[in-house]
Structure 1
């Protein structure tokens, strides 16, 4: 058969082959790598890690084993991927600042909240925590399905059976193909209480659940500042975001001095990077109220923030820090998980809890049935023992004399095959200890257990009552444990604090220089010989603007997008400045065509494009708060913005490359907030406007330095309506 296929080539369209293979890859990534299962909240690598640790008997009461041994077992038996990714997953399960309820207890260097990495797996040791033991409880009782491992040499669990809401308690994060998940951690005791509420009142609303589970509970604490309605909407939709702030307090010093002590930082913010971020913002003069930041942390976080002056309010200082640094961050909620083991979907809080409870119910049914089968089997064996108890001599005779003792025993005492096997497999020493009272005592006990198990299997109400009691026990267990107390404080949405007065920039004259290569800097004072300022080799001056340090500047790109820069934010000093593209999201191939200081917001500017279109825009509509700027001129067919002029004067003069001139009233160019402009002059194919002037007609026009002023009578022959072809330009306009 193999020989027949050798050299066989089958024609397939490339698009079909790629889509088929990419779809297979995408589904594999979604179901087998990136998204957690709603039932146990684990991705396959985490599930395999815990199962491998149980196989190695790394219980909380046992000793530790090298992480290299655990990782080796995982990749050798269950997870055919790189050892680095498996070890990274193991390390995260052991970090109490990364997961709310660690599933692995580590011994050695497992990293820190500063962002330090863990030591190599050959140096660290690990074992399971009590929480992980709870998640694996019942796995040997046929509680879940098993499937073959990748090499078909072993079996692995499809899901873990334990009574722990790991998906919501520890959260999850992952990026698949075309979808992602981001679930924050929560308090386990609150989740158990919410699950009990769902059992008692299945129709309860999300608001009622949030009375029990008020929101995320991050391992690093912090303050959650979101209003109630935002939380309700996020948990109902399964999508949203939460704003987290650092927890801080004022520490009084001598002579009225004070400092701010930060004791908790937002989740997933590395302390080292946070301090670097604050220091960088101080260098950029974005934190004028802050004098210094110090890290005095030991095992607990302690960041010391010193104000520049004791006269400022601590709340104002912290508001500037929250605005500009990672002391405030957002955590996205996207409860995209695998339901029924393989179907991805976004669930609400209620749906996620219901799915977990259904899993708990299924596990209870399977464990109960497994135990019932074991009880029935033992009862059958005991029944056989009772039948032969009074005839031990006959049993021994049959075994001694019969060639086939098993059928003879079954016929003589009406035994089943199972009963006969157990009687034949008994040791002689057990026969002498076989006492009827002991057998009947065990029989009665198992009979009662059988009735209890059958009653439980026969009544769904009893099963949910049993689950409710189990959840209550688990709630008490986690309320009293070391991780029981809520860490994240639920706060109200913060009131707006005006920081403008405290952040007022000292007004002083500055000259802003923008180079041809896009480097911008501010130089103190006016009247500089700007041409003699230093620039990088091969670079030179493109624009200079004399303004005040409190002014805003407009940067207009050829693509029609306007950006706003604050003079106070621009770098100063003797260097070459800073690339303007780090201050504004200017496209790499986009060029700057105008750079000027904003005047009055009501001032108007005249914009013209290379395809002969123009518009008037108020200064307020050119201003943009975001780095991405504001698209003002909607250009057509590859055109670009040609110039930006203050809209001063009464008339517009356009001169084309075809030597046609046209003068028309400025009022014929409409003022808009944004748009595609109107036609200024009719252009032929390949013709563009070479020059545009705005002037007062009654004052005349000086076209070129050294020429006399042209009176309104001289210009009358060029007047017409906007959009006309224009007249042949006079010689004084064409003369060089």
Structure 2
């Protein structure tokens, strides 16, 4: 029987199709869930800057506060009365607040934001509210309360926070369909911005991170959606082959940073010898480099390939009126400051009411006792009669009171003890009333000048809690680092010209150059085709490859000289062109596209060299001149698609190089941008001059080190640099420095004999220091002497340093400046430098002749500094340019 019933049911279900729609449930339930996550978990409120779990933690800590430390486990357990989640989420949230060192006074191992080490278990660490939190977070009389999730407790809807706490601490959260990321800002700058807003002045806010580092906030966009902040570690060179990381980007740890460096090293992006992590209270990561590695280039590579540079996208989402709203940090600060102003006003109004109530009862008490109204109730037998008697007794004396006397006031009077009446002192009572009147007047004054009161409140916060809260993150504009310029090329590129293959696996074929896996390769073939492709193990380009090199984007310095035959038996054309941008893996035809076209001559010139070649024609017909010269300098540099100029209509037998080329490009003008401390060719900052391939920069640092360097755009400069200019070989350097062993100032003048060596020109003694240095031809220094006791101060001396001492070696001690005690040494304007008469005569003859060609440059011209290289006529040798990289 049971089997029959089951079979019937199965048959019934098989025959019946039922469609259950979940659209309504999805809309209702999912919307409820999303709203809960947004409002109750992930996004902070604009009023106090707290997420619900953080607010409940701070409320619990106030419940437990007795001035002593409490176990975090105890605080977490107490918070669970208000928070509907487990202890783990509460503990993690509390550690995050505590690590910000603003609201919670911590004790024990609370973890390390620098290394990423976790905090100890809650039973081992302790906490209490900081004095700052007690001052700005709590005001029970202003707090709006609500029932906790289980209805057993009262918890605050929002804490009455009187400070832009949300911007000080920052906030991150991921909800359903949206997220928030408000970056932390500087405590002192927030106070100054609040004061400026109260006074109607403008302000700007930029993030400040607890881990320090360097930040580029040029695209911060006020913390709104679409903005971006780039953050870099602070890296410096401590020794010749050692770099030190002393501050790290926000959002990273020393562990993750070191891992990223090791991975970049393993992939060949950078090359390091070893790495040490000495981080404790402060970050110290030492990176030891091989002896052949450039520290400057390695620093750029660290920024390009590791977590030494991070990018953060701020997104200011907050809860306003139970809805998520996107705001910029300026608007958040304005709303927070206005809210603080409102809270301060409410506190003053409450205090005024309390003071006036105290004054009212103190006055009633005096009237009641001084006029012995308490005797009027002796004959009364009922409570109503007592109240009535006191009321009648008070009426003649209450005209000056600020409100009517009610029954509650009379009841309070009846509660005064006999002992207090017997010891009542009229003078003391009047003094109390006078004091209350003074306080009332002061509170009314604050209310009348509420903005000034709020400004003073913020100033007091700055005075009491601002010590040690200076900005940690340095703000600076970054230069973009091109990865291809700083990557370590640790792979070898090979070519099989005949078969038309290039790649890193063709080890039995011709070696081309070192490369990296992010490089692009440019190839030219004998039929006039060109292609740019990414470095790979083996790539087919086309048969008969005539040139292979690493391709550099936007390279206007490399010029290709080419002669090609247009089709089989056609005319020959010459063209010069640069390749600045292409589509990867696309084949470009550099000829006119006719079948049988071929390249007759081809060179790639890294500095725009233009050689002279000899063209040999085939002896045929009535040709008389079968050999002639072709000068590429007479051919204009144009685009790669141009047809070119006709060389000859006859058949070319061969083309041979006759004369090495010289550069036809202008010397490169280089500027120094003080903001980012980098060289550039974009006309940013101070113009250093025009540089040919052999020119160098002179660098002098505050610690007395001088060197000359090639003006590479990747070079980094630090704050120790005091002189950066184009180096003139015969121009002496003048310096005044303190010699501790002699206890005297010394003067020296010297030339740089070895431009490739970095040398120190002052004493190696640790107390030796450089007072001033000059590269003027005729520098003048002023000596200000110290005034002896009881004597007149000696008049200042002016010294022509060129007459004071002759040019000596860089290691020479120099001449003693003076035996007197010196208060100060100042560098004055130099004397005018006059070239010798012979040089003047040569210059004047050249000017009068009207000849525009460059005359011969003499040594005296170099010394005078008057020679300027003309833009149009200047040339440089055929060596590769210093700026190709």
- TM-score norm. by structure 1 comes to 0.63
CA shift, 1:258, in A, is 2.8
Q: Which SS does the other structure have where 2:273 is aligned?
A: strand
* Contact 1:226 1:492 (8 Å CA) reproduced: yes
* Contact 2:108 2:125 (8 Å CA) reproduced: yes
Q: For residues 472-551 of structure 1, what are the structure 2 equivalents within 5 Å?
A: 472-479=459-466, 481-482=467-468, 484-494=469-479, 496=481, 500=485, 503-509=488-494, 525=507
d(CA) in 1 for partners of 2:433, 2:157: 36
Tell me the equivalent position of 1:375.
355
Q: For residues 277-426 of structure 1, what are the structure 2 equivalents within 5 Å?
A: 277-287=260-270, 289-309=271-291, 311-340=292-321, 342-392=322-372, 394-395=374-375, 397-398=377-378, 401-404=381-384, 405-414=386-395, 415-426=405-416
Q: Which SS does the other structure have where 2:208 is aligned?
A: coil
* Contact 1:247 1:262 (8 Å CA) reproduced: yes
Q: Which SS does the other structure have where 2:367 is aligned?
A: helix
Q: For residues 632-711 of structure 1, what are the structure 2 equivalents within 5 Å?
A: none
CA shift, 1:397, in A, is 5.0
Tell me the equivalent position of 1:178.
177
| 1:243-281 per-position Cα deviation (integer Å, ceiling 9, x unaligned) | 1111122112xxxx4301111111120211221221122
d(CA) in 2 for partners of 1:505, 1:286: 8
* Contact 1:248 1:263 (8 Å CA) reproduced: yes
Q: Which SS does the other structure have where 1:276 is aligned?
A: helix
Tell me the equivalent position of 1:222.
213
d(CA) in 2 for partners of 1:320, 1:501: 5
Task: Please tell me whether residue 189 in structure 1 is matched to residue 188 in structure 2.
Answer: yes
Tell me the equivalent position of 1:37.
45
Q: Which SS does the other structure have where 1:290 is aligned?
A: coil
* Contact 2:297 2:486 (8 Å CA) reproduced: no
Tell me the equivalent position of 1:128.
129
Task: Please tell me whether residue 439 in structure 1 is matched to residue 429 in structure 2.
Answer: yes
* Contact 2:268 2:490 (8 Å CA) reproduced: no
d(CA) in 2 for partners of 1:258, 1:106: 40
* Contact 1:108 1:124 (8 Å CA) reproduced: yes
Residues 371 and 283 (structure 1), Cα distance of their counterparts in 2 relative to 1, 3 Å cut: same
d(CA) in 1 for partners of 2:103, 2:308: 28
Residues 550 and 382 (structure 1), Cα distance of their counterparts in 2 relative to 1, 3 Å cut: closer
d(CA) in 2 for partners of 1:222, 1:384: 65
* Contact 1:102 1:131 (8 Å CA) reproduced: yes
Tell me the equivalent position of 1:114.
115
Tell me the equivalent position of 1:150.
149
Find the partner of 2:258 among 275, 287, 292: 275
* Contact 1:114 1:272 (8 Å CA) reproduced: yes
Tell me the equivalent position of 2:802.
none
d(CA) in 2 for partners of 1:552, 1:263: 29
d(CA) in 1 for partners of 2:20, 2:200: 56
Considering Cα pairs closer than 8 Å and 6+ residues apart, tell me whether 1 or 2 has the greater RCO. 1
* Contact 2:376 2:393 (8 Å CA) reproduced: no
* Contact 1:48 1:156 (8 Å CA) reproduced: yes
CA shift, 1:306, in A, is 1.0
Residues 56 and 498 (structure 1), Cα distance of their counterparts in 2 relative to 1, 3 Å cut: closer
Tell me the equivalent position of 1:246.
233
Q: Which SS does the other structure have where 1:37 is aligned?
A: coil
d(CA) in 1 for partners of 2:362, 2:209: 54
Unaligned runs of 5+ in 2: 1-18, 396-404, 497-502, 521-531, 549-580, 587-592, 596-885
d(CA) in 2 for partners of 1:132, 1:443: 34
* Contact 1:52 1:73 (8 Å CA) reproduced: yes
CA shift, 1:175, in A, is 0.9
Residues 394 and 144 (structure 1), Cα distance of their counterparts in 2 relative to 1, 3 Å cut: closer
Task: Please tell me whether residue 427 in structure 1 is matched to residue 435 in structure 2.
Answer: no
* Contact 2:491 2:504 (8 Å CA) reproduced: no
d(CA) in 1 for partners of 2:121, 2:495: 54
CA shift, 1:172, in A, is 0.8
| 1:176-225 per-position Cα deviation (integer Å, ceiling 9, x unaligned) | 111111111111111111111112225x3xxxx23xx4x21111100113
CA shift, 1:501, in A, is 7.1
Residues 348 and 623 (structure 1), Cα distance of their counterparts in 2 relative to 1, 3 Å cut: farther
Q: Which SS does the other structure have where 2:352 is aligned?
A: helix
Q: Which SS does the other structure have where 1:507 is aligned?
A: strand
Residues 597 and 367 (structure 1), Cα distance of their counterparts in 2 relative to 1, 3 Å cut: farther
Residues 407 and 320 (structure 1), Cα distance of their counterparts in 2 relative to 1, 3 Å cut: same
* Contact 1:245 1:327 (8 Å CA) reproduced: yes
* Contact 2:39 2:319 (8 Å CA) reproduced: yes
d(CA) in 1 for partners of 2:435, 2:319: 42
* Contact 2:232 2:310 (8 Å CA) reproduced: yes
CA shift, 1:40, in A, is 2.1
Q: Which SS does the other structure have where 1:178 is aligned?
A: coil
Q: Which SS does the other structure have where 2:492 is aligned?
A: coil
Residues 492 and 549 (structure 1), Cα distance of their counterparts in 2 relative to 1, 3 Å cut: closer
Tell me the equivalent position of 2:79.
74
d(CA) in 2 for partners of 1:56, 1:396: 49
Two-structure CA RMSD over aligned residues (Å): 3.5
Residues 23 and 293 (structure 1), Cα distance of their counterparts in 2 relative to 1, 3 Å cut: same
d(CA) in 2 for partners of 1:336, 1:401: 69
d(CA) in 1 for partners of 2:262, 2:483: 23
CA shift, 1:494, in A, is 2.7
Tell me the equivalent position of 2:747.
none
Q: Which SS does the other structure have where 2:192 is aligned?
A: helix
CA shift, 1:31, in A, is 1.6
Tell me the equivalent position of 2:88.
84
d(CA) in 1 for partners of 2:258, 2:465: 34
d(CA) in 1 for partners of 2:72, 2:244: 37
CA shift, 1:553, in A, is 10
CA shift, 1:449, in A, is 3.1
**Which has the higher Rg, Structure 1 or Structure 2?**
2
Equivalent residue pairs, number: 507
Q: Which SS does the other structure have where 1:500 is aligned?
A: helix
Q: Which SS does the other structure have where 2:275 is aligned?
A: strand
d(CA) in 2 for partners of 1:293, 1:306: 6
Residues 423 and 258 (structure 1), Cα distance of their counterparts in 2 relative to 1, 3 Å cut: same
Residues 522 and 313 (structure 1), Cα distance of their counterparts in 2 relative to 1, 3 Å cut: closer
Unaligned runs of 5+ in 1: 1-10, 512-520, 528-545, 555-562, 569-594, 604-618, 625-647, 651-736
d(CA) in 2 for partners of 1:416, 1:371: 21
CA shift, 1:422, in A, is 1.6
* Contact 1:41 1:166 (8 Å CA) reproduced: yes
* Contact 2:163 2:340 (8 Å CA) reproduced: no
| 1:642-678 per-position Cα deviation (integer Å, ceiling 9, x unaligned) | xxxxxx999xxxxxxxxxxxxxxxxxxxxxxxxxxxx
Residues 312 and 406 (structure 1), Cα distance of their counterparts in 2 relative to 1, 3 Å cut: same
d(CA) in 2 for partners of 1:431, 1:219: 61
| 1:117-160 per-position Cα deviation (integer Å, ceiling 9, x unaligned) | 222111211111223223324x13x2332222223333222222
377-386 or 236-245, which deviates more: 236-245
CA shift, 1:407, in A, is 4.5
Q: Which SS does the other structure have where 2:228 is aligned?
A: strand
* Contact 1:173 1:183 (8 Å CA) reproduced: yes
d(CA) in 2 for partners of 1:372, 1:134: 20
CA shift, 1:551, in A, is 7.6
CA shift, 1:437, in A, is 2.0
d(CA) in 2 for partners of 1:399, 1:345: 69
